[in-house]
Amino acid sequence: MSTLTTIADLEALYGQPGEASTVKEVAQITPQYRAYIEASPFASLATSGPEGLDCSPRGDRPGFVRVHDEKTLMLPDRRGNNRIDSLRNIVRDPRVALLFLIPGVGNTLRVNGRARISVEPALLRSFAVEDKAPRSVMVMTVDAVYFQCARALVRSELWNPARHVDPKGLPSAGQILAALSQDRVGGATYDRDWAGRAAKTMW
């Protein structure tokens, strides 16, 4: 199999991007890009550390990623499984990227930059939901922002309800855990109790 190993090889195959592909990238959050961030209830957070790369889902009410100013985003770390893979990476390598999705919208928004983890009490309190503050907030300095055109979402039909997959056709979380732990954890009890457990620990 032939392998491309240089930038010159890539450019010979793909050519140069058109102006629309480059002019859309800026180094700050414009009013147009701010509208996308404030409408989004979901983002993927990419980080890098000594062990490799990580990409983690982040979701909350629309606008959960706060636009502090044109160069700064703030993302609260809500309750989860305490693996803190993303946070472990950030404290050792500040480079991060966010990919925002908005239900029903084809364009996505990509933000690259550098982050730090803040536990400043007033900042944590400002992100409280139902009187529960996050344990930390990721403060991101923006280096690049640009939208991604809708081809990927059009091809995947991501927002088409007719294409939604029935979860019953896939292994459940409890089944996966049971299989990987030789039935020490997981199973039908895990699946049955998950919704109630998640509701009590959402924030």
pTM for the complete prediction?
Answer: 0.94
Q: What confidence score (pLDDT) does residue 201 get? A: 86
**Phi and psi at residue 96, to the nearest 5°:** -140, 165
Please state, for a pLDDT cut of 70, what percent of the chain lies above it: 100
Q: What confidence score (pLDDT) does residue 1 get? A: 57
**Phi and psi at residue 103, to the nearest 5°:** -55, 130
Q: What confidence score (pLDDT) does residue 202 get? A: 87
Q: What confidence score (pLDDT) does residue 106 get? A: 97
Q: What confidence score (pLDDT) does residue 186 get? A: 94
| 3-class secondary structure, 10 | helix
Q: What confidence score (pLDDT) does residue 7 get? A: 95
Closest CA to 46 of 5, 86, 103: 86
Residues of the chain scoring pLDDT < 50: none
Q: Which residues pair with 142 in a beta bridge?
A: 113
Q: What confidence score (pLDDT) does residue 161 get? A: 96
Confirm if 151 and 170 have CB atoms less than 8 A apart: no
32-61 pLDDT, tens digit each? 999 999 999 999 999 999 999 999 999 999
